A and B are shown apart, each in its own frame.
Chain A
Amino acid sequence: MPSLRDYRDRIVSVKSTRKITSAMKMVAASKLRRAQEHAQASQPYAQAMAAMLARVARNVIVTDTSSKLLVGTGSEQRHLLVVVTADRGLCGGFNANVVRAARLKAAELLADGRDVSLVCVGRKGRDVLRRTHGSRILQSFLGLMGASKIEFAQANEVTEFVLEKFEAGEFDVCTLIYNEFVSVLVQKPVVQQLIPFNLPELAQTGDVALTEETTDSPYSFEPEEELILNALLPRNISVQIYRALLDSAAGEHAARMTAMENATRNAGDMIKGLTLKYNRARQAYITKELIEIISGAEAV
């Protein structure tokens, strides 16, 4: 039977926890707003890039000499997974979901007898994956997700690393795994293939405004379409990675906000329950003392 003092101490401690979680929720909410704005600001560029790629790709005949980013290396043996998580925890299942998706994908590939290596963006993913796939992690990028604003140049560091490894022939297929920001309440882990680049998919998701009239109009290219395409493809990978980082950042804050809101509510419930118990114990104590006094008086 805990004493009155025990109850009081627990109530105080839960109250201070609630203060922290509700503060974290507020901070996450304001960061979420900013992250969403950034994600929105990057939309026009991504759309224009997709439209341009679709346009150029229509005019290029894919041959064996085309960029390897487009046609692949002719093998599917070695896979590189880029896993985007948050740098910090306390955001519900946010990191765990991505890590689970990454593990599933890795297990699937390994079961097929493929080679898998990993690139981790975000501390949490690295910490967890290091335990199971330690030797497969090529590189980790930390501290990117914590910044108040993710610069495109930072996303480029990841892209450059990936492209360097690709040009060095260290992998054949590159897949990006990150949390897509669906809504404040929902973040969905997405597995997206980056290299080789899927053109038919692009034609579908590409610019809808490309009506027949514009698609048929003869475009001139300066320099030739091959060269432009070769320059566009690595750019497009940066854009995709940048978008993944922005989505992940917005998702992280949203997930933290939801998690902290729940934690705050739980703390409130706990305080209520503890206060009730405390009051009951106090009453029992008073009653006991009264009985003692009365029975003492009766005995006299």
Chain B
Amino acid sequence: MTQNIAFELVSPEDRLVSEPVSMAILPGEEGEFGVGANHSALVAALKPGVVELYKNDEKEPFRKIFIAGGFADVTGESCTVLAEEAVNVDDLKQDSLESTLKDLMEDIAHATDEVEKKRLRRRVDMTKARISALTGRLAL
């Protein structure tokens, strides 16, 4: 039995996860990293990607959550992730994401406003990150 670490994932709109895990893998801005019990104190910026949660030394993560960037606050006993936006990977649908991406591309082509374009481009990046979160999982 390994030691657990209290894991919390909060988004501005909700507290999504609050439970002990044996390990969490976070998409750090400078590369993915795992967090377990007694991890050294760390504050890290996160890029859009997938958070994987493991329980009891199992090989497969029991939960995967896509986050659209955020921050992680790690102490020896707890790990708190502040996500800007979070969705369960299982809730992502590849077809709908791809059609959203296509729509967004069309919108960009039609957009004339520079600010509007910037906003759309960011949404495109987000959607792409989501698709790769999904397909990356399928490829593995």
A contacts, CB < 8 Å to B: 38, 41-42, 44-46, 48-49, 51-52, 55-56, 151-153, 155, 214, 217-223, 225, 227-228, 231-232, 235, 238-239, 242
Contact = CB atoms under 8 A, between A and B. Distances in A.
Contacts, number: 80
A227 B71 CA distance: 12
Interface stretch (B40-48, B49-57, B93-101): B40-48
A253 to B, nearest CB: 18
Contacts of A49: 82
A222 B29 contact: yes
B71 A228 contact: yes
Interface residues of B, number: 23
Nearest to A239: B12
B28 A222 contact: yes
Contact of A223 (B11, B45, B84, B85): B45
B19 interface: no
B73 A52 contact: yes
A66 to B, nearest CB: 17
Given A48-B82, A223-B29, A41 B41 contact: no
A108 B22 CA distance: 56
Interface in B25-74: 28-30, 40-45, 71, 73
B44 A221 contact: yes
Where chain B touches its partner, the secondary structure class is strand
Given A45-B11, A152-B12, A55 B73 contact: yes
Given A222-B29, A222-B30, A214 B45 contact: no
B4 interface: no
Nearest to A222: B44
A48 B28 contact: no
Contact of B45 (A44, A45, A46, A228): A228
Contacts of B80: 48, 52
B75 A214 contact: yes
B43 A152 contact: no
A48 B80 CA distance: 8
Where chain A touches its partner, the secondary structure class is helix
Contacts of A223: 29-30, 45
A112 B107 CA distance: 47
Among B12, B13, B14, B43, the one with the most A-chain Cβ atoms within 10 Å of its Cβ is B12
7 smallest beta-carbon distances between A and B, as pairs: A222-B44, A152-B12, A45-B10, A44-B10, A219-B41, A44-B15, A41-B14
A52 B14 CA distance: 18
6 contacts: A42-B12, A45-B12, A48-B73, A221-B44, A222-B42, A228-B71
Contact of B10 (A48, A56, A214, A222): A48
Given A52-B73, A242-B12, 7 more contacts: A44-B8, A48-B10, A48-B73, A51-B73, A214-B41, A219-B42, A222-B45
A232 B10 CA distance: 15
Among B41, B75, B80, B82, the one with the most A-chain Cβ atoms within 10 Å of its Cβ is B82
Contact of A217 (B41, B44, B82): B41
B71 A152 contact: no
A46 B8 CA distance: 13
Among B43, B45, B71, B80, the one with the most A-chain Cβ atoms within 10 Å of its Cβ is B43
Contacts of B13: 38, 41-42, 45, 151-152
Contacts of B11: 45, 152
A46 B12 CA distance: 7
Given A41-B13, A45-B82, A220 B42 contact: yes
B43 A219 contact: yes
